[in-house]
A and B are shown apart, each in its own frame.
Chain A
């Protein structure tokens, strides 16, 4: 329980605050709370999703103006205006996200810059919204006939919202879809291969961040009882982001700490700097700008991780592992041994004039290991990309379990039962081994992030984790389950990738150079593992450089050179095949 102590102290402090603080400090605490709500959204977007937005203040403004305008001119119920504001921000965020998130990561922040300015100018120029003076005379918020007008009432509301956001987001990230969100930082290629719709999750994160901002704006409007454009400027949007960066944008509590650390000195500087410099104006930007540059250069992870080291961490208990009673997820029907799994027919891939693969045909059957070998530049990786649906072939057909897949995307083939590893290990280094493997089972779960946020998914989550443990057990890595994946040696990381692929319950396992960079003993263990999986009836296609490894393990071997298939057969036949010997050692006639 020791690790919970700071949290308990924090909540206690919040409970005592209304009795200790009055007037301005109380108000200040409320403003910090509103900032925290916005910054928590940015933690999701930036810390989890690796995206960012400078336009959060515009979403706060949309929430505030929706509340102000609808209650003063249309006589709406304040609680209905919250729904209207949320709807408005959601639509805006979906449109912005859908337009920008399909492209590189820097388009979203750039368009939120433009968005932030445009919305702010719109507030200031629209006569309907009161121009620069804004909207006054907003009626107070009431709940069951109880009017919210005092600071302490808003204190309860605001910090209640903050704590419930922290709780729900914490739950959400610790679930099937939460893992998918955390996988966004590991690159789209890996996440998509695990069946994660990366664009969808990026949009979800952006929409959530916009909605939190909208809620903050809505509360702000009823707390102030008037709104004007100033607090919703682009500058304010940038400040929210800075709060996150100061505190540590990768973690929820970093956002909380950052808001306090930023808001309090800012207030002081704003009132004292002009007299120090002997001029009027806001100069705190100089200090904050420079401070931010130093933090980004020296400690881009923010202050929270450093603070966090001061007290004991939660120790992930290995006993939680053993007493989990949940059964792994149901497996799909396994194809019978010897059944045709993958069939390539005259697959050709051209890059402009270069023919990387020329009319390649072969088959992989259940319960066999087929090795694809060839010298550098033979076109193995290109073919691997065609099969795993990363880039479609120029012509020819690929049939997986009898269905054509050459025009599918990698999510679709993952759903059909094809699972892969990567030549350059693509794990999420800071996530635990177990979570990394559980990501592989993404497509086998159903619950959405909304259910997870309120812990309605626990039964299924237990089964997913049981599946991941089962996969780890099959690979002999059970005792490493709770270590961060990045702490493992390369050989074990490759095995974790295989376990992740197994968690998807595949019919076909695609391995891209699994033995690369492994030591002799590690290779032998890998060989034993793959042999066991073959016995379970899995079809395995592996691309490999290491001839000894391949010859010992593979049932059949396909050899490629210069984009052509030059030989196919049993390992011992391949060893004696003249074309193979020539490709690897150079022809006798070439010797100069």
Chain B
């Protein structure tokens, strides 16, 4: 391997790492706040990327209909509880909360000339849809079992992944697609061509992570989420509703997942089932950080990205095998470092 190739692989690895870091961040956040291991993150990525592809081709993305459907289910779930307690006025409020955002988005995608909108506007609509998608998934799938064990929540995640995966085939078809770069062109850096899109990916990922850091560090809502992550019951006693915290975590996960899906679709072809494997790589990164530490997850993302990039050079057929088996030495190291511990004290 020449130095040039190493440099190129390194650049490619860091680009991948930037995306995995975003995913890992969202996974750690969701796990800390809700104890949900959010496997369907990968489907959010593909749904976002493929919805954007559909919009650019001038088709209203069917995701909007899925959102309306989820909103109806969420409303019905609440209605059964509300009707039992006989507070009919809350029925209307719940209807507005769950149905207004999906219906608004549905109206937007069917009223606007989608293909002639500016690229950033199309992206904004996609992000908005996923910002609604995340909390609705939480409300419909996870919230009814919020008190269940981590294991049950994990099974729910896998069930949701299976459902969304097949639904993805129904909504978007089996064809793979790619998105154009945000800005075309490249420049030379140390004798190596760097695409501007690479800068977009790394830069936006870093910027998003920085914004999230500031949000958690300084804003009241950020602090509320952190409090819930540290101690659910304690936070609840301080007036932070777990349902609110869960919804907020899933909103962030939806937006971050959608953004990473869009980023990755500008570098490679994405089809309805591509997200799962990419999402799992985000998991490997998050696990390297112990599912608890944000800097650890970022370091894990770097390790996963570089491993994948270099493995694709040496043994391209086995690159995913290598990335996924990376988890074994990493867990061995973690289990040696932390030693046995008791997980039941909750």
Q: Which residues does A use to contact B, with CB under 8 Å?
A: 46, 50-52, 54, 95-96, 99-100, 102-107, 109-111, 113-115, 117-118, 121-122, 125, 187-189, 199, 235, 238, 241-242, 245, 277, 279, 281-286, 288-290, 292-293, 296-297, 300
Contacts and interface: CB of A to CB of B under 8 A. Distances in A.
A238 B39 CA distance: 13
B332 interface: yes
B133 to A, nearest CB: 16
B196 interface: no
B145 A297 contact: yes
Given A115-B328, A238-B158, 20 more contacts: A52-B154, A95-B328, A102-B335, A102-B340, A110-B283, A114-B327, A115-B324, A121-B324, A189-B342, A189-B345, A199-B340, A241-B155, A245-B155, A283-B166, A285-B166, A288-B163, A289-B163, A290-B163, A296-B148, A297-B144
Most buried by A among B162, B335, B342: B162
A104 B328 CA distance: 15
Contacts of B174: 281
A283 B170 contact: yes
Given A99-B335, A103-B331, A289-B159, A281 B324 contact: no
Nearest to B329: A99
Given A241-B155, A281-B174, A296-B152, A110 B287 contact: yes
A297 B156 CA distance: 8
Most buried by A among B148, B332, B343, B344: B344
A286 B170 contact: yes
A285 B160 CA distance: 9
A272 B110 CA distance: 32
27 contacts: A51-B151, A52-B154, A103-B331, A105-B150, A105-B151, A106-B37, A109-B151, A110-B37, A111-B328, A113-B280, A118-B320, A121-B320, A121-B321, A189-B344, A235-B162, A238-B162, A281-B166, A281-B170, A286-B170, A288-B162, A289-B160, A289-B163, A289-B164, A289-B165, A292-B155, A293-B163, A297-B144
Nearest to A116: B324
A116 B168 CA distance: 22
B117 interface: no
A297 B167 CA distance: 20
B284 interface: yes
Contacts of A235: 162
A121 B291 CA distance: 25
B221 interface: no
B163 A188 contact: no
Contacts of A290: 159, 163
Contact of A106 (B154, B161, B342): B154
A241 B344 CA distance: 23
A233 to B, nearest CB: 11
A77 to B, nearest CB: 30
A293 B141 contact: yes
Nearest to A298: B144
Given A105-B150, A118-B320, A293 B160 contact: yes
A292 B158 CA distance: 9
Interface in B274-303: 277, 280, 283-284, 287, 291
B150 A241 contact: no
Given A106-B37, A121-B320, A188 B342 contact: yes
B336 to A, nearest CB: 9
B344 A188 contact: yes
Contacts of B277: 117
The 3 closest A-B pairs by CB, nearest first: A289-B163, A285-B166, A187-B344
A296 B159 contact: yes
Nearest to B335: A102
Nearest to A96: B328
B284 A114 contact: yes
Interface of B: 37, 39, 141, 144-145, 148, 150-152, 154-156, 158-167, 169-170, 174, 277, 280, 283-284, 287, 291, 317-318, 320-321, 324-325, 327-328, 331-332, 334-335, 338-345
A387 to B, nearest CB: 18
Most buried by A among B284, B324, B328, B338: B324
Contacts of B291: 106
A280 to B, nearest CB: 9
B324 A109 contact: no
A107 B328 contact: no
B287 to A, nearest CB: 6
A107 B338 CA distance: 13
Contacts of A293: 141, 156, 159-160, 163
B81 to A, nearest CB: 14
Contacts of A110: 37, 283, 287, 327
A235 B39 CA distance: 13
Given A103-B338, A122-B318, A292-B155, A114 B280 contact: yes
Contacts of B152: 296, 300
Contacts of A297: 141, 144-145, 156
Contacts of A284: 166
B162 A289 contact: yes
A490 to B, nearest CB: 20
Nearest to A286: B166
Nearest to B327: A114
A286 B154 CA distance: 18
A592 B320 CA distance: 72
Contact of B166 (A46, A105, A187, A282): A282
A326 B264 CA distance: 69
Given A100-B331, A279-B170, A125 B321 contact: yes
Contacts of A104: 341, 343
A52 B153 CA distance: 12
A106 B150 contact: yes
A113 B39 CA distance: 10
